[in-house]
Amino acid sequence: MTGHPTTAPPRARRSRIGPEREAELYAAVMDLLREVGYDALTMEAVATRTRCSKATLYRQWAGKPELVATALRHQKPVTLDRIDTGSLRGDFNCLVDQLDDHRMAEDTALLRGLAHAVHTHPDLLDALRRLLVDPELTGLGALLARAVERGEVHPDTPALAFVSHLMLGALITHPLIEGTPADAAFLRRYIDSALLPALGV
């Protein structure tokens, strides 16, 4: 970023892989994840499928956990930091608009596999938290801070500390209670009936 290309560590250089090639690589990682799961996915298989050398892969990503976490971040259907509709309800609904029911069912299966894998792979949990969860929590914090600034939510509202639990909880518990993945219609009802009332909106 501060521009010392000759002294930068190799991993910071992106000269070998352009954005299009990167997107191809991430798509291949997602395909392999769906096909064989995290445990059976190898850097070797990614290299073979993408006709990329393993050396190039390791130059760009520290290892399998980072490659998988970055691929997930690249493919994720929702980007919180571009949402700013002017109202909290609008922001939450914009978030749901970005979700695709079919894609969501597919992702649920993928995330379930990863949720299982993190318990035997602490390095995967670490990479996912660092590259995927923490940026989302930061984005959510900014969205809520704007609602407080606008005067929509009182700054002392206790539920502000639990919005990530409330949102993620709706996605995860629906398959357990209703037996099917959460869909956009359910999430809209949940936002209006439970999430916004908890925030006093």
Residues that bind its own copies (CB under 8 A): 109, 112, 115-116, 119, 125, 129, 133, 137, 158-159, 161-162, 164-166, 168-170, 172-174, 176-177, 179, 189-190, 192-195, 197-200
Cα separation, 39 vs 21, in Å, equals: 25
- Min CB(186)–its own copies separation in Å: 9
Residue where the block lists tokens 């929590």: 137
Q: Which is nearer to its own copies, 12 or 40 (CB)?
A: 40
DSSP class of residue 174? H
Minimum CB separation of residue 156 from its own copies in Å reads 11
Separation in Å, CA 119 to CA 110, 124, 125, 164, 175: 15, 9, 8, 21, 21
Q: How far apart are the first and last CA of the chain?
A: 41
Q: Which is nearer to its own copies, 11 or 112 (CB)?
A: 112
Instruction: Classify residue 193 by its DSSP letter.
Output: I
Contact 117, 39 (CB under 8 A): yes
Name which of 133 and 184 has its Cβ closer to its own copies. Answer: 133
Q: How far is the CB of 108 from its own copies (least distance, A)?
A: 10
Of 27 and 133, which has the nearer Cβ to its own copies?
A: 133
Q: C-beta of 158: minimal distance to its own copies in Å?
A: 3
Q: How far apart are the C-alpha atoms of 56 and 201, rounded to whole Å?
A: 50
Q: Which amino acid is at 158?
A: P
The rounded distance, in Å, linking the Cα atoms of 22 and 160 is 37
- In whole angstroms, how close is the CB of 157 to its own copies at the nearest point? 8
* Residue closer to its own copies, measured from CB, 20 or 156: 156
Q: How far is the CB of 164 from its own copies (least distance, A)?
A: 6
| CB atoms near residue 71 (< 10 Å) | 24
- Using DSSP, state whether 116 is helix, strand or coil: helix
